[in-house]
C-alpha cells in the first residue's frame, strides 16, 4: 500500500476549490484519479498530477474542461492569502518646522 500514488498539491488544490466554490460535494479515489460528485449531477474526474480535469457521468464519457477553469479552481482551493505587511518606508520630509519658521532641507 505504501507504493500507491498520491495527488499532487495542485490536484488537491483543484479538488478543494471545486468543493469550496460549491461545484462539488465530495471526492473519492478511483485508481489514480479523484472522482468528485458534481452538485448538478455527474462527476468531475481529476488526475493525480492536476494536469487534466474532466466532467461527465463516467470517465469514458467525460469531456475535458478548459485549463483556465482548472487553474481558477486551484486558486480557489489555496484559500485566503496571508496578509503582507507594508514594506514601503515613509517618505523623508523635505522640510520641518522650527518654531514659527519652516526650514527646508536639501
**What's the pLDDT tens digit per position in 24-57?**
998 899 999 999 999 999 999 999 999 999 999 9
Q: How many domains does the chain have?
A: 1
Helices (H), 3-93: 9-20, 67-78
List the domain range (segments joined by +) for residue 33. Answer: 9-78
DSSP bridge pairs for 103: 96
**91 falls within a domain:** no
CA 11 from centre of chain: 10
Q: Is residue 68 part of a domain?
A: yes
* Domain membership flag for residue 17: yes
The answer to whether residue 88 sits within a structural domain is no
Spatial CA neighbour of 78 closest among 12, 28, 7, 8: 12
Q: To the nearest whole percent, how much of the chain has pLDDT over 70? A: 73
Amino acid at each position: 500500500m505504501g507504493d500507491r500514488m498520491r495527488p499532487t498539491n495542485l490536484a488537491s488544490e483543484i479538488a478543494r476549490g471545486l468543493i469550496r466554490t460549491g461545484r462539488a460535494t465530495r471526492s473519492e479515489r478511483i485508481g489514480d484519479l479523484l472522482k468528485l460528485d458534481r452538485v448538478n449531477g455527474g462527476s468531475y474526474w481529476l488526475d493525480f498530477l492536476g494536469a487534466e480535469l474532466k466532467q461527465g457521468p463516467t470517465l469514458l464519457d467525460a469531456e475535458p474542461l478548459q485549463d483556465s477553469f482548472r487553474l481558477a479552481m486551484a486558486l480557489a482551493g489555496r484559500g485566503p492569502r496571508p496578509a503582507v505587511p507594508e514594506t514601503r518606508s515613509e517618505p523623508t520630509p523635505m522640510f520641518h518646522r522650527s518654531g514659527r519658521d519652516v526650514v527646508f532641507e536639501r
